[in-house]
Chain A
């Protein structure tokens, strides 16, 4: 095999770091699913609950991302699966718990996952702009999901949300297997 290779900088989308960041958020289920889970949970908790999570999560994500970029320290691997299980589990149980707990979860999720993606973005040379792209995308995503869940009125639609939660838990369990198993 021969190749026409001429060296170049690392660019992932070729459209600049912002689009790389947006793309990262959209194609990384490890980040996307826990965010969907907390948005479902916040939606189940009602309008005021949802509004708080909507603004706190991206803010925490930004802080986490900056921390990750500067410290280059990654949370233990199992964190991702744990986010799936805790947040998905609360959705399955239809227990939005208290607003305070919800906010604490949003902060924890934002800091931990933001931090992990910050490390990756720094490594990929996307940096702060990439994180802003991710944060903006997540803000849009959370507002869409919470808005949808809050507007659900019929009983069976609430059940559909719980089913979605159970799918997230299921993926989390399998992810746990991939993370710690021999085949990961």
Chain B
């Protein structure tokens, strides 16, 4: 399981307490900005939808392994950013993720589940790194995180929901076209990141 390694990492960190983060504080504002953040960036939305659709194309167990993997690895990326661990090429990684995942959907490629999970997980780190820690000043970190995770999960669910049309031939074709669209969007964002 993906969760085991972070647990081990945590144990080591436990010995070093730092100033108490406000246990109580933070209003609904933190939750709300967490909920809204993932849907406010098109690059992020495209990649999330692609994860859901791709999972639906592959069917079980990928249909749920991918959406289970993604939030956890993404949160891991967010944690790296919060801890100040440098990760290079984040914006390029996000653009590439939409490009590649969209491409996979477009060609309806079904690799082994491990390969798919690693691919999705790899890109998830960039997404988490870029967005998981963009907390507006003065809001509750944990509520923001909850909102962020829930919102991302809901995007996956929407992707899976859309992907369910895969059972019809016409639906299959529509999904592949959507994948191509996402890939095109991803290419655009990658270009922006590289040039800008």
A and B touch in their complex, CB below 8 angstroms: yes
By a beta-carbon cutoff of 8 Å, the part of chain A in contact with chain B is 24, 27-30, 33, 74, 76-79, 81-82, 85-86, 88-89, 92-93, 116, 120, 159, 162-163, 166-167, 169-184
Which residue in chain B gives the minimum CB-CB distance to A116?
B23
* CB–CB A86/B75 < 8 A: no
Which residue in chain B gives the minimum CB-CB distance to A120?
B23
Query: Which residues in B have their C-beta under 8 angstroms from that of A163?
Result: 64, 67-68, 153
* CB–CB A92/B72 < 8 A: yes
* CB–CB B133/A183 < 8 A: yes
Query: Which residues in B have their C-beta under 8 angstroms from that of A77?
Result: 17-18, 20-21
* CB–CB B142/A178 < 8 A: yes
Which residue in chain B gives the minimum CB-CB distance to A168?
B149
Report Cα–Cα, A21/B145, bound state, in Å.
Answer: 24
Q: How large is the interface on B (under 10, 10 to 19, 20 to 34, 35 or more residues)?
A: 35 or more
Query: Which residues in A have their C-beta under 8 angstroms from that of B141?
Result: 174-175, 178, 183-184
Give the total number of A-B pairs whose CB atoms are below 8 A apart: 142
Report Cα–Cα, A82/B67, bound state, in Å.
Answer: 22
Which residue in chain B gives the minimum CB-CB distance to A164?
B153
* CB–CB B3/A92 < 8 A: yes
Report Cα–Cα, A170/B67, bound state, in Å.
Answer: 12
Interface pairs (25), CB distance under 8 Å: A24-B24, A29-B142, A30-B142, A77-B17, A78-B17, A82-B11, A82-B14, A86-B7, A89-B4, A92-B3, A163-B68, A169-B71, A170-B74, A170-B75, A170-B149, A171-B146, A171-B149, A174-B133, A174-B141, A175-B142, A178-B21, A180-B16, A180-B18, A181-B79, A183-B133
